[in-house]
A and B are shown apart, each in its own frame.
Chain A
Amino acid sequence: MTSPLQITSRWWRTRLRRAAPWLTLAALLAAWQAAVVLHPRSLIPGPWPVLLGVVELAKKGLLFKYVLASLFRVTWGYLLAIALAIPCGLMLGWYRHCEYAFAPLLQLFRPISPLAWIPISILWFGLGDSAAIFLIFLASFLPVVLATMNAVRNIDSVHLRCGRNFRLSEAQLIWRVLFPAVAPQIIVALRIALGVAWLVVVAAEMIAVNSGLGFLIVDARNAGNRYDLVLAGMILIGLIGLILDIAMRRLEKLPSVQWGYIGAK
């Protein structure tokens, strides 16, 4: 039997667990404020001016505009990338000779940071959205192709045999067996790729365009060391990245992919 005491202690434990992230956040803010008070001549503003900076951006209409601009680039670059990467990855994993032909090339491109492509993307697309979208495309394409390819290669052959036994055509086999069998791993790759895309858009905007959260950060510094706006930009980037990640985690909750994460959790 559970005693009232046990029940209360369990109640407190759940409470504490829920509150824990907010407590660390509060501690961090307090430490930040303390540091600013102790070093009054530092250029780094405290939490309150940063919040006012966000409000200022919102009032000028820039907050909405910049967030939208960054999301616009990420959306296009990312969607184009995955629309190509998933079929490519399936093909590469499925047809052995395709894999032999392309795998070394992919491995060669993989260690090249997407940022190394900045000069070439500007050369090809000029300054503007296309260059940024191209960079985001590059950043999200490779991880998804490679993950999809590896997932296909490691598929349980029993499932393919079952599919063949029921005489599925090649296309049906790919759609009804291969794709669902690798979907859990693809979803993980999609989440990672979106994270990378969000990292890259900031860098791309610092160089290739004059809007977006990345631009906000360089612009705030150049236009009179507005470190309150720099920090406001950074915090916005963090928050939106977090929201994107939470949204992608939702995909992992789909009932038809649950099986893929059972051992891992």
Chain B
Amino acid sequence: MSNQAVQARTTALETRLRVANLNVTFGEGEKAVNVLQNITLEVGAGEFVCLLGPSGCGKSTLLNVLGGFLKPDSGEVVIDGKPVLGPDPRRIFVFQERGVFPWMTVEGNIGFGLFRLTKEEQARRIFYYVNLVGLSGFEKAYPHELSGGMKQRVEVARALAVNPDVLFLDEPFGALDSITRLIMRRELLRIWQKERKTVLFVTHDIDESIQLADRVLVMSTRPATIQRVVDIDIDHPRDISSRHYLDLRDQIFEQIGLAHKV
């Protein structure tokens, strides 16, 4: 696919998620902290969007609102034409590996959300997703016997197994070492290309966002607004030493107000 083709694809996507004039304030009176201010964004079906911003700016808060775990003070979140009223298995949250249930095996975790299905269908999906995330042979293992990256795979598989429309990932690779993190990014892209879920991926890592996303939404410090939207019009697998990649990276560094010489 050429660059133009990528762009054409992203613009042609139907809108999956729409957020208009979202405001969130924590606390009251003197202590009130305005965390999100007038956030407006749109995400297309099957799109991979990164929310990039410094720690504490409100990324998790925004994702919690989108996921239905937190009510905004004003503004609305609409997914597939319907307002979000609460958590829903069609939109699954993935946390930093700590979301896996330590009392269940890999199988048990991946099958956790499948209780409405028949036993055969459960087994089929567990088998499929265990393989998809590369954990075959570890079906009977407990999370405490796994590495951080493997636990993260379990969480992603558990989320995918219920066949959601949207995945929310909140700094999912933040606790992993840098090599595992790179591997997990590649894995996530491979899975995303296969399953084409809509992905909202929160990160404070500029490179991570450019390596993964179709679009990067750059957030400001508190109260967070969306400063800028950067289209990453590079095909996967991305050459991270290409001129264009480095240009985009420079743009974002500048936008965040960081000189990129240490």
Q: Report A's interface with B, CB cutoff 8 A.
A: 156, 158-159, 161-162, 164-167, 172, 176-177, 180-181, 183, 255-260, 262
Contacts and interface: CB of A to CB of B under 8 A. Distances in A.
Nearest to B113: A166
Interface of B: 67, 69, 87-89, 91-93, 95, 98-99, 101-104, 112-113, 115, 142-144, 162
Given A259-B103, A260-B102, 7 more contacts: A158-B99, A161-B93, A165-B67, A165-B92, A176-B112, A177-B101, A262-B144
Given A156-B98, A166-B162, A259 B88 contact: no
Given A158-B95, A255-B142, A259-B144, A164 B87 contact: yes
Nearest to A262: B144
A179 to B, nearest CB: 9
A58 B95 CA distance: 62
A229 B99 CA distance: 57
A165 B142 contact: no
9 contacts: A162-B101, A164-B87, A165-B87, A165-B89, A166-B113, A167-B88, A176-B112, A256-B103, A256-B142
B89 A158 contact: no
A259 B144 CA distance: 6
A159 B101 contact: yes
A167 B114 CA distance: 11
> Which 10 interchain pairs have the tightest Cβ spacing?
A259-B102, A166-B113, A180-B103, A256-B103, A165-B87, A259-B144, A164-B87, A167-B89, A162-B99, A166-B89
A244 to B, nearest CB: 25
A227 B186 CA distance: 76
Nearest to B164: A165
A181 B69 CA distance: 21
Contacts of B98: 156, 158
Contacts of A258: 142, 144
Contacts of A180: 101, 103-104
A74 to B, nearest CB: 29
Contacts, number: 55
A256 B89 CA distance: 25
A256 B67 CA distance: 30
A166 B93 CA distance: 10
Given A159-B99, A259-B144, A166 B112 contact: yes
Contacts of B69: 161, 164
A258 B69 CA distance: 31
A256 to B, nearest CB: 5
Contacts of B144: 258-259, 262
Contacts of A181: 101, 103
In this complex, the member of B89, B92, B101, B142 whose beta carbon has the largest number of chain A beta carbons within 10 angstroms is: B101
A151 to B, nearest CB: 13
B93 A162 contact: yes
A95 to B, nearest CB: 20
Contacts of A260: 102
A167 B91 CA distance: 11
Contacts of B104: 180, 256
Contact of A257 (B67, B88, B92, B103): B103
A112 to B, nearest CB: 35
Contacts of B88: 165, 167
Contacts of A167: 87-89
B90 to A, nearest CB: 9
B162 A259 contact: no
A156 B97 CA distance: 13
Nearest to B112: A166
A262 B99 CA distance: 18
A41 B92 CA distance: 79
Contacts of A177: 101
A165 B103 contact: no
Contacts of A166: 89, 92, 112-113, 162
A259 B143 contact: yes
A170 to B, nearest CB: 14
B101 to A, nearest CB: 6
A183 B103 contact: yes
Nearest to B86: A164
A260 B112 CA distance: 20
A93 to B, nearest CB: 17
